């Protein structure tokens, strides 16, 4: 049995064509079903529906053989586990769910001036590790405030000077009168594979990886 961990929403939708290329059709729709283990047309393949931030955990500790997760989630996960994702093989950038992580502030906040002055900034984010590394690399002192969602609110109510959050279309920033002042990194989703599963179930996993790379017109990655 091959178990694939996916999160609902954009990653799930954009993964379906890749699974299809590997001959895998998911038989349930996670948006309408309450099931957390979804059958596929292949008796030997099943899909787990997990929270996006839990995908690396399921794969790293063997609850799933493979999964698809954003680079943002992977970086935060590695930091939670002491700077490493031991046991996780990352063969492919799937080029899906593309967006970026940026710094944004209220339109009336002079971010460049505050940085030049060496001001200590209050930054709200759920990407604490990414934000810490970014501001440390710029030599900007920050107090990080961990939030779990609706980051855009924080500067509007005086909780923070800036936010670090995902930006895709920019609509959420615009709707809340915020402007993007720094682009920290581009984000896309990665295929991750449990190293032990790769040893034990090499052939079916190799088949899925090579079907994905064919569908993406990327060269098949060498397997460890
Ligand atoms: C993300 C992010 C922004 C929004 C950006 O939230 O946190 O709020 O998308 O997208 P846009 O630039 O296209 O407006 P998401 O909807 O993924 O929910 P979240 O609050 O759980 O992160």
**pLDDT given at position 83:** 63
Query: Across residues 79-103, what is the average pLDDT?
Result: 89
What does the alpha-carbon distance between residue 197 and residue 195 come to, in Å, rounded to a whole number? 5
What is the value of pTM for the model shown? 0.93
Domains of the chain, first to last: 2-97+188-216 (3.40.190.10), 99-186 (3.40.190.10)
The angle, 0 to 180 degrees and rounded to 10, between the axes of the packed helices 10-21 and 202-215 is: 100
Cα-to-centroid distance, 131 and ligand 1 (Å) = 17
Asked whether 72 lines ligand 1 (CB < 6 A), one says no
Burial class (CB in 10 A: 0-12, 13-18, 19+), 37: exposed
Of 60, 50, 11, nearest in space to 166 by CA: 11
The atom of ligand 1 lying closest to the CA of 174 is 14
Residues of the chain with pLDDT > 90, as a percent, come to 93
* Mutation probe of ligand 1 site: the residue of 167, 175, 178 with most atoms within 8 A of C-beta: 167
Report CA dihedral (70, 75, 76, 82) to the nearest 10 degrees: 150
Of 143, 151, 147, nearest in space to 176 by CA: 151
Over residues 60-84, the pLDDT tens digits come to: 999 999 999 999 999 999 988 776 6
Over residues 17-75, the pLDDT tens digits come to: 999 999 999 999 999 999 999 999 999 999 999 999 999 999 999 999 999 999 999 99
Pure H helices in 35-99 = 55-60, 71-80
Asked whether 147 lines ligand 1 (CB < 6 A), one says no
Contact between 96 and 14 under an 8 Å Cβ cutoff? The reply is yes
Contact between 110 and 161 under an 8 Å Cβ cutoff? The reply is no
Over residues 113-128, the pLDDT tens digits come to: 999 999 999 999 999 9
Asked whether 171 lines ligand 1 (CB < 6 A), one says yes
Per-residue CA distances from 45 to 50, 168, 179, 181 (Å): 16, 32, 44, 44
Over residues 178-222, the pLDDT tens digits come to: 999 999 999 999 999 999 999 999 999 999 999 999 999 999 899
Asked whether 165 lines ligand 1 (CB < 6 A), one says yes
CB atoms within 10 A of CB 80: 14
What does the alpha-carbon distance between residue 189 and residue 203 come to, in Å, rounded to a whole number? 23
The atom of ligand 1 lying closest to the CA of 168 is 12
Work out the end-to-end distance of the chain between its first and last CA atoms, rounded to an integer number of angstroms: 21
Asked whether 166 lines ligand 1 (CB < 6 A), one says yes
Asked whether 218 lines ligand 1 (CB < 6 A), one says no
């Amino acid at each position: 049995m091959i178990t694939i961990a996916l999160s609902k929403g954009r990653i799930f939708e954009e993964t379906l064509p890749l699974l299809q290329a590997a001959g895998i059709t998911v038989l349930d729709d996670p948006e309408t079903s309450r099931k957390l283990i979804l059958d596929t047309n292949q008796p030997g393949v099943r899909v787990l529906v997990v929270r996006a931030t839990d995908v690396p955990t399921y794969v790293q500790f063997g609850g799933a053989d493979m999964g698809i997760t954003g680079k943002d989630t992977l970086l935060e996960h590695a930091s939670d586990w002491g700077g490493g994702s031991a046991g996780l093989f990352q063969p492919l950038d799937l080029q899906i769910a593309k967006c970026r992580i940026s710094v944004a502030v209220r339109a009336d906040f002079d971010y460049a001036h505050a940085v030049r002055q060496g001001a200590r900034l209050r930054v709200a984010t759920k990407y604490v590790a990414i934000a810490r590394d970014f501001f440390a690399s710029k030599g900007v002192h920050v107090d990080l405030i961990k939030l779990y969602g609706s980051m855009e609110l924080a500067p509007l109510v005086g909780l923070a000077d800036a936010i670090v959050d995902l930006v895709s279309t920019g609509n959420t920033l615009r709707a809340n009168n915020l402007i993007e002042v720094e682009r920290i990194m581009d984000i896309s989703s990665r295929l991750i594979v449990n190293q032990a599963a790769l040893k034990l179930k090499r052939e079916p996993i190799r088949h899925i990886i090579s079907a994905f790379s064919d569908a993406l017109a990327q060269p098949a990655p060498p397997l460890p």
